[in-house]
Amino acid sequence: MKKGIRGRLIFILLTVFVSIVFFLPSTPLYSKLPSWWGRFFPDKGITLGLDLQGGMHLVMEVEGEKAVDNTVERTTESLKRSLEEKNLAAQSIRREGRDILLSFAPENKEAISKILDEDYPNLATKQSGSGEMVLTLRESEVNRILESATSQALETIRNRIDQFGVTEPLIQQQGADEILVQLPGVKEPQRAIALIGRTAQLEFKLVDDENPIARQFPLEIEADQEAAFVQEYQAQIPPDDQILFERMVNEETGKVTKRPFLVKRQAALSGDLLSDARVSIGDFNTPYVALTFDPVGARLFEKVTEENRRRRLAIVLDNTVYSAPVIQERISGGRAQISGTFTMDQANDLSIVLRAGALPAPVKIIQNVTVGPSLGQDSVENGLKAGMIGTLLVVSFMVVYYRASGLLADLTMVLNIVLLLGAMAALNATLTLPGIAGIILTIGMSVDANVLIFERIRDELRAGKPVRLAVDAGYTKAFSSIFDSNVTTLITSFVLFLFGTGPIKGFAVTLSLGVMFNLFTALIGTKVVYDFINSRWKLQRLSI
């Protein structure tokens, strides 16, 4: 055998072996291999996409305007504290829409203006009088908040999903204010939605039990009476207070009721000072979430607990009271806990959202498609069935029409698929239903390339050339046609990969790899077989 032929055969066999090694983890056979195999060879195969293994497809809209409103609210509270610390407490400071209305003693105007200039550059003075000001967020600040809300929400959701333990999630921004989330293999969609969509704004607020209005509150109300209850007492509660509710579940009947609390509107401590949140088990084998504050939060928590002994401190998450224990003594060390009627999963999800941080604004789910595992399995079976039927028809046609050469083309097609699957496994690519369509299209292109070659060889044989020369001439004349058609397809698939998303990318990946291996198998794989046969037996006739 000539060295050139031997070298090409060894290279092809080596390529096939490497492809099979990479593809093995994707097959049931991998579980039967000895344990040492995974230490020396790849142990990750092809990942199935959302449409093949089931899961969730969510499109969420970030309500950026709420982020602007939250900023106005926080700025109002911050400005109030700043003026109190400087002994310049305003007679009135309140928010009206996105304006902050400030009234004060006229002699303090210069000092207040100085504080605004130095500490609140994001505020612009809309109106100014001798004892009052109307402040608003600058337009540039509003635009910055709107632009950053989606990217911040994207990062927070990514952190939550990473800690939730979903493999191969797809999380990306879509348009100006939308986030696309695909979670393959998720079997508890409602739990995942609750985890992703929760704002998770944690606050510690003092309960205003000393107010006479609070003493009129019943111990519990019906779960659907919250709005009516707030409306009944709204006119009587001080402007610095608000009504929040604790969700209560009767363990025997499962009935849900709400317990009203009158709490200070201004938070004594917020969740952005947390450094950790973990699930622990309490005295009665019930889970709770143990919180640890950073150094700043620990000092503030110690100060709050020292100054408010015998008062209740409500732990509020997304405007829902989780518990309101009485502060018995100063708490140092920066540790607290959230207890309630949690299951282990609920406590674990709560700790995840607290560790990942709060969303800058609420998110609204505008598209929710859940693909069940059985539907995904149906997709796999239908895709395989379509592929098998198409392959059998093509194989039969090639054998009938081109005889032994057709059988060689069929083997080349199989080689093409083996190399393609091996490459996908090596790249840890995700196989989707459109990806299967790309593989089927590749099979067609593989056959098409061989048909071009075979027809050119037939022409040369009809012209009376010997087999070896006819084969060489056939490959030479078909080369430009095969190369041109495959390269143009490769460029198209590259553009699809560059600008497409999700399933379109999956189609582009399989098509790109298939086209590259098609060039390899059609121009090198079959040619080396003809060269090997001719070098051994000097064929006088060719079955084609």
Q: pLDDT of 184-225, one tens digit each?
A: 877 788 888 888 887 777 888 999 988 888 888 888 888 888
Helix (H) or strand (E) holding 150: helix 139-164
Q: Read off the tokens for 489.
A: 């397809």
Distance of CA 293 to the CA centre of its chain: 28
What per-residue confidence (pLDDT) applies to 15?
92
User: In angstroms, rounded to a whole number, what is the distance separating the alpha carbons of residues 194 and 339?
Assistant: 19
Give the integer Cα–Cα distance in Å for 400 and 462: 20
Closest CA to 350 of 268, 280, 278: 278
Contact call for residues 52 and 382 (beta carbons, < 8 A): no
pLDDT digit string, tens, across residues 478-496: 998 889 988 999 999 888 8
CA dist 399 and 214 (Å) reads 88
- Give the Cα-Cα-Cα angle 116, 117, 122 (nearest 5 degrees): 75
Give the whole-angstrom CA distance, residue 532 versus residue 536. 6
Q: Is the pTM for the entire model greater than 0.75? A: no
**Under a CB-based contact definition with an 8 Å cutoff, are residues 145 and 18 in contact?**
no
pLDDT at 261: 93
207: which DSSP letter?
A: B
CA-CA-CA-CA torsion for 77, 81, 83, 86, nearest 10 degrees? -170
Question: Do 462 and 535 meet the contact criterion of CB atoms below 8 Å apart?
Answer: no
For the chain, which domains are there?
Answer: 3-49+372-536 (1.20.1640.10), 64-142 (3.30.1360), 198-369 (3.30.1360.200)
pLDDT number for residue 14: 92
DSSP element (H, E) containing 366: strand 363-371
The sheet carrying 55-62 orders its strands as 170-174, 178-184, 55-62, 363-371
- Provide the CB-side half-sphere exposure for 434 (13 A, CA): 15
Q: Give the residue among 185, 189, 168 at the shortest CA–CA distance from 377.
A: 185
**Which is nearest to 365 in space by CA: 178, 203, 183?**
178
The arrangement of strands across the sheet holding 221-222 comes to 221-222, 256-264, 241-249, 320-323, 313-317, 202-206, 269-270
Tokens coding 110: 């210069």
The SS3 assignment for 206 reads strand
Residue type, 458: R
Say how many C-beta atoms besides its own lie within 10 A of residue 404's C-beta. 12
3-state secondary structure (DSSP) of residue 182:
strand
- Residue 175, pLDDT score: 82
Using 50 as the pLDDT threshold, list the residues of the chain that sit under it. none
What span, in angstroms and rounded, lies between the C-alpha atoms of 481 and 454? 13
Encoding tokens for residue 153?
Answer: 């929400």
β-strands 99-103, 132-137: how paired?
antiparallel
Cβ neighbours of residue 380 under 8 Å, at least 6 residues apart?
48, 52
